[in-house]
Amino acid sequence: MASTGGSGASAAQYDVFLSFRGPDTRNNFTDFLYRSMVGQGIFAYRDSEELHAGDRIDDLLRAVDNSKICIPVFSRGYASSPWCLRELARMMELYESTRKPEILPIFFDVSASDVKLKTELYVKDLDKYEQRAGGDSKEQWEAALRKVGQIGGWEVQGKP
């Protein structure tokens, strides 16, 4: 189930889409960010609970499509989630074709080098997907990570 907040936007349009790995940041950084945005009247989308088998990625991708800004919150476990990687791939696909949505990355206890696959942190997770999801998905996800790592963002290191 999705959680949205704020006012002034239609049900089909979000100011911000938050992409994050739930166990890493849901109950701390991302929750604070979400509540701060909603408190300022920003209509934000975040999934309200962990996604389960059988849930539809289509709903998340539609929310990405209908957002003005996407904020991927890169954390240590972000690349271990195929849901997060699919969201990111969709963001980058849209951005490259239309320059929308605007993408504002946050590097939470990771660096842009990790996201650009210059360290082993995300590489080891992606290697697992080649065996499970096939090479096409892995290549698309790698390309999206490398490209988004080139976008200027904010580093949040060692802060609760």
| Catalytic choice (87, 93, 102, 130) | 87
Cα(116)–Cα(113) distance, rounded to whole angstroms? 5
What are 94-146's pLDDT values in tens digits? 999 998 899 999 999 999 999 999 999 999 999 887 656 555 688 899 999 99
What are 17-28's pLDDT values in tens digits? 999 998 899 889
Query: Is-catalytic flag, 87?
Result: yes
Distances (CA, A) of 97 to 83, 92, 156: 22, 9, 29
What are 18-55's pLDDT values in tens digits? 999 988 998 899 999 999 999 999 999 998 754 554 55
